[in-house]
Amino acid sequence: MSATLQDIISHAKEYGFVFPSSEIYDGLQAVYDYGQNGVELKNNLKQVWWKAMTQLHDNIVGVDAAIFMHPLTWKASGHVDGFNDPMIDNKDSKKRYRADQLLEGKAEEYAAAGQQDKADALLQKMGELLSAEKLDEVRDLIIAEGITCPISKTSNWTEVRQFNLMFSTQVGSVAEDSSLIYLRPETAQGIFVNFLNVQKSGRMKVPFGIAQIGKAFRNEIVARQFTFRMREFEQMEMQFFVRPGSEMEWYEKWKETRMRFHKAIGLPAEKLKYHDHEKLAHYANAAVDIEFEFPFGFREIEGIHSRTDFDLRNHQELSKKKLQYFDPDLGEDGKAIGNYIPYVIETSVGADRMFLAAFCNAYTVETGEKERTYLKLHPALSPIKAAVLPLVKKDGLAEKAQEIAASLRLHFRTVYDEGGAIGKRYTRQDLIGTPFCIAVDYETMENNTVTIRHRDSMEQERVPIDQLKEKIGYAVDF
Ligand code: ATP
């Protein structure tokens, strides 16, 4: 039985993973808070990404740039003029929609009805019209396709308008034009503006990369599908600076490396695929998405983009500061290669989308003789690694279990639980994805061994206490 998005949302809330933001005031659309287990899972995801992208590469280092940046940053990046979604309103329901999503929905309907050709033709047409900014014709297409508002059921549409997705605010107390700044819509630009700082202070040689994890903000018009599309979210991005001309080689390399990562954290190969972009963004000469099969279909979790020298060149132009690298190597002609603006391969993944992918994939309901729900998370991602459970509280078992928990806690997140029947306690841990439950029984008091109960197989094995740290520590490491 496959889970619905509603099952996922309910489980996430009931077991302390994700809550609607400001819920006591009925929430805020497309903004979410992570609870006690969610924050652990998300931190673990960020840690494994950071390790995979920095620690394991001698030539990739990290930064943590500010959310606020000089307003010209967003002029240079193209976000002021081009970071728009086409939006259309239904005059009867007064509801607002993304024009491209209405058409994509129609294409999905065609595809579901076996009319793949029609679906492809519609998407192609839409791509052409949007690239050419022919917004009136996008509206005509919506009407011609008979697309109606899901609420009013009418096709009484307004014109299509471009809507900039950046949030803005004022710096200081005076509301002047010059004090208008944006909340960053992507973390990448904090890396680009620091490119030379890092290169020089770290004596980095091209090819090298800069990684960053941080919040980004987008005023998404249509926010749905839980944490898939949020207005405040976190990105994990890496910009890899290469010699012009070598970018396609690195693009292919990163495409494969990033796919391997998603498999390594436990996402199954059959739920992952590449999706090449038919329509390239203004800054890219090649782009691919890694898609994951969510309960609502295959959707992007990560983008790998060959961004050329677009960003660095524009920053150089607007800041009037040279953003060039001196390459001391010799070229094929035997002469020094000298100065150039590097090309960039970007890998960009949303921490929240990856969280949702890992969570959806882990959510398992076993039917049969005894129904069981558990989170089959990669142990490195599990919020809690081990739970120590005394069989009974008396005869010194509770104290012994507490002692074991205290010693394991120094190495990985461990909880102690003595409340209720042992079966109930196993269930509690299953529901939040704890990979190992350690039961302390009368035999423990005799020979210093415990049983480890494995979450997925429910098998139990007897292990000496002094081997727990190594055995579990090894399994939960990434
Ligand atoms: P989409 O087409 O879904 O809007 P995008 O192509 O605009 O995404 P990018 O700008 O390439 O996305 O951002 C890189 C990654 O950041 C995405 O793959 C996704 O994981 C994450 N991301 C982007 N927008 C959001 C959002 N509103 N909420 C959560 N994660 C997001």
pLDDT in tens, 358-375: 999 999 999 888 889 999
- 446 Cα to the center of ligand 1, angstroms: 56
Residue 1 has pLDDT above 70, yes or no: no
Q: 329: number of CA atoms within 13 Å, CB side?
A: 8
Long-range contacts of range 452-457, CB-CB < 8 Å, 24 or more positions apart? 453/426, 455/374, 455/376, 455/429, 455/430, 456/374, 456/376
Q: Whose CA is nearest to atom 6 of ligand 1?
A: 303
Residue 430: enclosing H or E segment and its boundaries? helix 422-432
Average pLDDT of span 289-305? 96
The token pair at 68 is: 């606020």
Average pLDDT of span 187-197? 97
Are the CB atoms for 223 and 98 separated by under 8 Å? no
**Prediction pTM value:** 0.91
Average pLDDT of span 124-147? 93
**Is domain 87-164 annotated with CATH 3.40.190.10?**
no
**CATH code, 5-72+186-361:** 3.30.930.10
Instruction: For CA atoms 302, 308, 314, 315, give the dihedral sign.
Output: positive
- 116 Cα to the center of ligand 1, angstroms: 26
> For position 221, what pLDDT does the model report?
81
* Residue whose C-alpha is closest to residue 32's, from 174, 170, 228: 228
> For position 325, what pLDDT does the model report?
95
Average pLDDT of span 291-303? 96
Q: Whose CA is nearest to atom 4 of ligand 1?
A: 229
Substitution site in 21, 123, 235 for ligand 1 pocket (most atoms within 8 Å of beta carbon): 235
The domain segmentation of the chain, as residue ranges, is 5-72+186-361, 87-164, 384-476
The pLDDT tens digits of the residues spanning 196-232 come to: 999 999 999 999 999 999 999 999 987 779 999 999 9
Ligand 1 environment, Cβ below 6 A: 186, 218, 220, 229-230, 233, 235, 300-303, 348-350, 352-353
- In this structure, of 133-142, 215-224, 318-327, 386-395, the range with the lowest mean pLDDT score is 215-224
- 235 Cα to the center of ligand 1, angstroms: 8
Residue 350 assigned ligand-binding role? yes
Residue 174: pLDDT band (50, 70, 90) is low
Q: What percent of the chain has pLDDT over 70?
A: 98
Helices assigned H by DSSP within 245-299: 247-264
The token pair at 185 is: 């819509």
Average pLDDT of span 85-110? 93
Residue 324 assigned ligand-binding role? no
Residue 241 assigned ligand-binding role? no
- 186 Cα to the center of ligand 1, angstroms: 9
Burial (CB < 10 A; 0-12, 13-18, 19+), residue 232, is: middle
Q: Whose CA is nearest to atom 2 of ligand 1?
A: 300
Residue 285 has pLDDT above 70, yes or no: yes
**Mean predicted lDDT score pLDDT of the chain:** 94
Topology adopted by domain 384-476: Rossmann fold (3.40.50)
Quick one: which atom of ligand 1 is closest to the CA of 220? Answer: 27
Long-range contacts of range 143-146, CB-CB < 8 Å, 24 or more positions apart? 145/103, 145/106
ipTM value greater than 0.95: yes
Average pLDDT of span 12-22? 97
The strand pair at 272-276 and 325-330 is best described as unpaired
Residue 351 assigned ligand-binding role? yes
* Angstrom distance (rounded) from CA 121 to CA 128: 11
> For position 372, what pLDDT does the model report?
94
Same CATH topology for 87-164 and 384-476? Answer: no
> For position 272, what pLDDT does the model report?
98
> For position 176, what pLDDT does the model report?
58
